[in-house]
């Protein structure tokens, strides 16, 4: 028997939040200098959550890096080779 889709992983359904929580709003206002010690925690202005978009690297950059390795750059396993030669002496 298969599992119902609503009981699946919660990460699939997780949406990005649009507004910060109360504690996050207070921290934001403190960092901007808009928070006073005698301010009330109720009725705070809503602050949109900042979404950060990460740009993917272009596919053209990857073959250039692979070509540099194939062009004859020495491998990074040289420290192991030194350890073997010192053990023989």
Quick: pLDDT tens for 72-88: 555 555 555 555 555 55
Q: Would 65 be classed as within a structural domain?
A: no
Q: Would 45 be classed as within a structural domain?
A: yes
The per-residue pLDDT for 6 is: 75
Phi then psi for residue 78, to 5 deg, are: -65, -35
**What is the count of structural domains for the chain?**
1
**pLDDT digits 0-9 by tens, 3-53:** 787 777 765 666 777 889 999 999 999 999 999 988 898 999 998 887 777
The parent domain of residue 28 ranges over 16-54
Q: Whose CA is closest to 42, among 28, 24, 22, 27? A: 22
Q: Would 30 be classed as within a structural domain?
A: yes
Asked whether the predicted pLDDT for residue 61 surpasses 60, the reply is no
The per-residue pLDDT for 12 is: 62
């Amino acid at each position: 028997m298969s599992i119902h889709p609503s009981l699946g992983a919660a990460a699939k359904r997780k949406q990005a939040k649009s507004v910060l929580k109360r504690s996050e709003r207070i921290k934001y206002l403190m960092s901007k200098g808009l928070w006073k010690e005698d301010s009330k925690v109720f009725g705070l202005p809503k602050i949109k959550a900042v979404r950060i978009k990460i740009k993917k690297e272009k596919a053209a950059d990857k073959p250039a890096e692979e070509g540099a390795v194939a062009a004859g750059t020495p491998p990074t396993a040289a420290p192991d080779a030194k350890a073997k030669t010192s053990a023989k002496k």
